[in-house]
Amino acid sequence: MIAPDVQALAERGWPGELGLPESIGFLTRLARLVMLTERVFSGIAERHRISFDDYLVLATTGRAAPATSPSQLCRILGRTSGGMTLTLDRLEQAGWLRRSPDPSDRRRVLVRLTPSGRRLSERVNRALHEWEHGVVPAGEAEELGALVDRLLEVVGRSGS
């Protein structure tokens, strides 16, 4: 059996079926939103032969022009340094980024995108944008963004 696709998940009578508390509350809906969004984003990235998590590494590196470091990537993406080493190995192996010693602090390593890594990152970036434009009516982008901010603020209250 093959896993049901995103659309199936979106359509099913989820809240009741998924056994989350009260089956109608904030929590259940938020869990569903997370699951659905995750699948949408992963699906878009994977159409370009890269996982969404790996794309985030490329995108973060690309933004930190001209270069960043493994530890900075760890901090931004919430990963361990051992795990990041493996991820960078993989992405470097694929030809999407390269590492070089930092001349000003030789404990450090500089990470930067290769042209092909930059192109890939931009392709996925574009695809994500196209998705956004496909689902968010032009007039509502602002409002929906503010709405997500509100949720971010709420969820961010955790652990404090």
Partner DNA sequence: CACATATCAGTCAGACTGAGATTT
Partner DNA sequence: CAAATCTCAGTCAGACTGATATGT
| Candidates 51-59, 86-94, 95-103, 104-112; binding stretch for its own copies (CB under 8 A) | 51-59
Q: Does 88 bind DNA (CB under 7 A)?
A: yes
CB of 11 to its own copies, least distance (A): 8
Q: Does 157 bind DNA (CB under 7 A)?
A: no
User: In whole angstroms, how far apart are CA 4 and each of 12, 29, 102?
Assistant: 11, 19, 46
**Span 113-142, contacts to DNA by CB under 7 A:** none
Q: Does 105 bind its own copies (CB under 8 A)?
A: no
Q: Rounded distance, CA 125 to CA 121, Å?
A: 6
Q: Does 109 bind its own copies (CB under 8 A)?
A: no
CB of 125 to its own copies, least distance (A): 5
| Residues contacting its own copies: total by CB under 8 A | 82
How many CB atoms sit inside 10 A of residue 15's CB?
Answer: 16
**Span 52-71, contacts to DNA by CB under 7 A:** 53-54, 69-71
CB of 159 to its own copies, least distance (A): 4
What SS3 class is residue 109?
strand
User: In whole angstroms, how far apart are CA 45 and each of 37, 80, 112, 122, 145?
Assistant: 12, 23, 20, 11, 22
Evaluate whether 15 touches 49 at the Cβ level (below 8 Å): no
How many CB atoms sit inside 10 A of residue 44's CB?
Answer: 16
Task: List residues binding DNA (CB under 7 A).
Answer: 1-3, 51, 53-54, 69-72, 79-90, 99, 102, 105-109
